[in-house]
Amino acid sequence: MGALAAAIAVGLGALGAGVGNGLIVSKTVEGIARQPELKGQLQTTMFIGVGLVEAVPIIGVVIALMVM
């Protein structure tokens, strides 16, 4: 049961991170393609977005390893 719990924790965490990162990256690419001069600002927004989205899956990985 521990392995199953770990798999569900990591899997659902990574699923959420994948969707979130996908949305952030797609909008950033669209923005840079339209206005390359705004690259610095878009990099900052993307950095903060990706950083905060990945906090929860990292906790998921930690919990999964502790459960196993």
Site residues, another protein (CB under 8 A): 14, 17, 21, 25, 28-29, 32-33, 36, 39-44, 46-48, 50-52, 54-55, 57-59, 61-62, 65-66
Closest separation in Å from C-beta 32 to another protein: 5
| Dist. CA 37–CA 50, nearest whole Å | 21
CB of 49 to another protein, least distance (A): 10
Phi, psi of 54 (to 5 degrees): -85, 0
In the bound state with another protein, the residue whose beta carbon lies nearer, of 1 and 20, is: 20
The CB density around residue 27, as the number of other CB atoms within 10 Å, is 14
- Shortest approach of another protein to residue 38 CB, angstroms? 10
Sign of torsion, CA 59 60 63 64? negative
